[in-house]
Structure 1
Amino acid sequence: MSSTARSAGGREPDRTAASAGDIERLFRSEYGRCVAVLVGAFGDIDLAEEAVQEAFATALGRWPETGVPPAPAGWIITTARNRAIDRLRREASRAGRHARAALLNARDEPAQEGPVQDDRLRLMFTCCHPSLSANAQVALTLRLLGGLTTAELAHAFLVPEPTMAQRLVRAKAKIRDARIPYRVPADADLPERVRSVLAVVYLVFNEGYAASSGDRLVREDLCAEAVRLGRLLARLMPDEPEAVGLLALMLLTESRRPARSGPEGELVPLDEQDRGLWDRELIAEGQALVRQCLRRARPGPYQIQAAVNAVHSDAAVAADTDWEQILRLYDQLLAMAPSPVVSLNRAVAVAEVAGPQEALALLGPLELDDYYVFHAVRADLLRRLGRIPEAAAAYETATRLTDNRAEQDFLRRRRNALPGS
């Protein structure tokens, strides 16, 4: 009997069985949208997040048996909404029932109009309220919209996991206690919050492009979501050069993704990539945006980083890279937005222009002992200087500090390729 006939007879049509991996991928791709929709409906971040998590837990228990519903994200949102309503009914005090009833009725009202029409972008601006610290704004938005775990957030911020957990709890408590509203920001509010929103989008992209944990080097879902949000921001604020610069930076970086891993998923460093695999359309779009930023002559950190990537994209082979221009750009970036990570990236350029000895000397003052890239760069410089035992130790430290399998394998290969290994 066909599935159509079974359906006509009152039975469920055939559905594709779902594995835990299928549901995890849906979680990664749709968690942020589901939370944003629920926050818009109920105005309560904790309630929305817990309801969505419960809905995914329900899916994990049912879908392997019943199959994936025709609109899985819609199923999650509907289930989460029902769980949230049930919880509100159970917990509402007698004095607060009228307010709760009004809140429940509000879910059927037309969406609030304003300059930001995307649920996820709207929630980003809401989380980036000026009463929260900059770090709390970014971390909370990454958690709610990117679905990043506390461990992934800790990796992105270079802080211990317990520190990040406390930061998230405090941010949510601040929103609750200060009664910060979930609302569409007015035009006048956008510039004040754009810096944190740009940081959120870029961190989502970075977590996608270089996943902090797991077997996969890249999480395409996060890269795609960050680029999508970057395009929305650039359209929303066309006169904000840093929004355009961030989009250019992501497009130019994303253009290299097809060449960044080999047939077995292994990491391929920039200087060894097959540049014929780079996406020329993304490069052309990104370079056009960089030129647009240059014409405005209002430089910012994202624009400068985009210019660095534009220089890389100009080189047909690695040997043609204009490292002197890249070093000048990093000098400008370090003056504008000094940080240990910028100094580390500048040291890489110094190594290409002035040699590894001068670059190694620049690493000494940097406080990046918990950052695996720092040790990987140091290992490479030591290798080039012939200081093999020290290079081996640095590679081992870098390997220990990353939880991504592809990065670990790459670092082990580099360690094993050292003379005498």
Structure 2
Amino acid sequence: MVTEKITQPVLNMTCAACASSTQNILTFVPGVITASVNYGNGKGNIEFLPGIVAPADMKASLQEIGYDMLIEEEESSFENVEHIKEENYKKLRRHTIWAIVLAIPLVVIGMFFMNMPYANEIMLLLSTPILFIFGKRFFVGAWKQAKHGSANMDTLVALSTGIAYLFSLFNMIYPEFWERRGLEAHVYFEAAGVIIAFILLGKLMEARATGNTSDAIKKLMGLQPSSVVVYRDGEPVEIPIADVQIDDVVLVKPGEKIAVDGEVIEGNSFVDESMISGEPIHVEKIQGEKVYAGTINQKGSFRFKAKKVGKDTLLAQIIKTVDEAQGSKAPVQGLVDKIAGIFVPIVIGIALLSFVIWLIFGGDTGFVYGLMAMVTVLVIACPCALGLATPTAIMVAIGKGAEEGILIKDA
């Protein structure tokens, strides 16, 4: 049977475990043969049987658990995806800044002025917006995962900070519960708030690092002009490059970038084709010679007939090759994905075990110390570095290679 392969942007992933989860969801869709989702560049490579399943079915399967996939040509375009990433980055940066601004006085009060009047109430007021406004994404993500019996990094963050917050709230409202047992009712609002602030800061740095990996594709796309002069009814007309059709006659003036692939029909010039061949020597173009999108005309002027436009040009194929190579997975990434897939449930198990051990052997303070041990395990055990290291390294290496004219087909 004839299969079809597509590469589409996958949205709302927050960690390597999300990539593993979305990959499993797509794999179990009837008609999907193979699926590979890369957290580093946020894209999924899917091979499927067109007669059995359509991209809309895959999109619906992902949306059920809180993810999404862009399938329309316009919405999945590089420019639109970059716009979405930029908007998400701005929102994340805004939330991170506000979380840090509120976390600083929270830490100062929690560490040095915990006995001042109304200290607990002030810390409650400071930590509440950090958790439930600026850290809302973690709780929403955890809830969507929980509804489908799954877990990811959001689950770890929401559990750790939520438990610390609720435990502190209980101790503030009902301190007599501990005081009757000869213990002091401590609150940990500053711990919950600072955890959210630090994780948001980490997510911001991560978003910035992965965002920079698309610079190579941006530079390749910048080789193509946004508009072009074509002859319509014998008159030169400037039109957007997207409107150029096969067999249009295109005018190229000195110093201009060639917009599409074609064949020279009139005039002659020398063209800089170093972006294709790597050779610095300019190539002479006379009637009958082929010209390619992204190359730069020198001193002469000529007309050529468009032969390949849009996605069929050599430049578009180079961009596609770089994009696919950046999304490919090295063999070691398969092992990383497997670990990330079971990492979160194992961490939750270890956290519960540490709580139970403290509860059994910790004496009067066993509950409090057990709770803190559980929160600590949930916070520090984040699989993102594990899942992000390999794809980010691959994307940066392939991107740098493309900038230097070296095309790598697969990791």
- Asked whether the two chains share a fold, i.e. TM above 0.5, the reply is no
Larger radius of gyration: 2
Give the number of the structure whose residues are more often strand, by fraction: 2
Report which structure shows greater RCO (CA 8 Å, sep ≥6).
Answer: 2
TM superposition score normalised by structure 2: 0.21
TM superposition score normalised by structure 1: 0.21
